[in-house]
Amino acid sequence: MSASAIIFYVIAAFLLGTGILAVTAKKIFRAAIWLLLSLVGIASLYFWMAVEFVAAVQIIVYVGGIVVLIIFSIFLTQQSGREMPGPSLQRIIFSLLAVVFGLAFTHKLIIDHGFDNAVSQPFKVAVSDIGLQMLSTTEHGYILPFEVVSMLLLAAMVGCIVIAMKSKQTTIPSPQNTEEN
């Protein structure tokens, strides 16, 4: 077993362990921190696969963007130190059954298919190649999805501001806040 294989198994154990802790932690703030560590583990797996650009994008967008957004929303919506009520035993049992059977089924599919002919060829991803193909208008270019996704991001930004904007007129009356209005 070479050093690179050992590094792969260490990264895999790290990201799976922190992922399990992220979905089972009792305190929501700790769950967010475990999620952050799991996303860093995934970024290091991208570094191991020698796709540095995707790893950098992963760290910038997920670790620097989404997790910070999640932590802000945790602070805005609840007491982060309080323990969340755990799920009922019945729900845990049935979720575990579904997960274990799904995992076993998918692993059997992967083993049966084999992927024996898949050998790791040298895989060089230059950032200039990614940029050239992203903005190319030829057959394998990605200029149309690039433009569509820019419109999607603009629409998402406007939509977020409109949804989260505080307005007195359009508050939905509900049993909790009718008495204070």
Partner 1 sequence: MSDVPLSHILFVSTALFFIGMYGLFTRRNLITMLMSIELMLNSVNINFVAFNKYLFPQNLEGIFFTIFIITIAAAEAAIAIAIIINLYRSHQSIDVEDATELKF
Q: Helix or strand or coil: residue 27?
A: strand
174 binds partner 1 (CB under 8 A): yes
Site mask, partner 1, residues 98-117, x = CB under 8 A? Answer: xx--xx--xx--xx--xx--
How crowded is residue 41: how many other Cβ atoms within 10 Å of its Cβ?
Answer: 19
Please pick, from the candidates 10, 82, 95, 136, the single residue that binds partner 1 as defined by CB under 8 A.
Answer: 95
59 binds partner 1 (CB under 8 A): no
Q: Helix or strand or coil: residue 50?
A: coil
Could you write out the DSSP letters of every residue in 117-134?
T---------HHHHHHHH
How crowded is residue 58: how many other Cβ atoms within 10 Å of its Cβ?
Answer: 20
Output the six-digit token pair for 162: 């409109």
Give the nearest distance from C-beta 94 to partner 1 in angstroms: 8
Q: Which residues contact 99 (CB under 8 A, 6 or more apart)?
A: none
Give the nearest distance from C-beta 81 to partner 1 in angstroms: 15
Q: How many angstroms separate the Cα of 164 from the Cα of each of 18, 83, 123?
A: 31, 27, 44
Give the nearest distance from C-beta 1 to partner 1 in angstroms: 7
81 binds partner 1 (CB under 8 A): no
Tallying the residues shown for the chain, one arrives at 181
82 binds partner 1 (CB under 8 A): no
Output the six-digit token pair for 27: 């305190």
Please pick, from the candidates 129, 136, 143, 147, the single residue that binds partner 1 as defined by CB under 8 A.
Answer: 129
Site mask, partner 1, residues 141-160, x = CB under 8 A? Answer: -x--x---x--xx--xx-xx
Q: What are the φ/ψ torsions at residue 115 (nearest 5 degrees)?
A: 55, 40
Give the nearest distance from C-beta 174 to partner 1 in angstroms: 5
- 5-24: contacts with partner 1 (CB under 8 A): 5, 8, 12, 15-16, 19-20, 22-24
Give the nearest distance from C-beta 62 to partner 1 in angstroms: 7
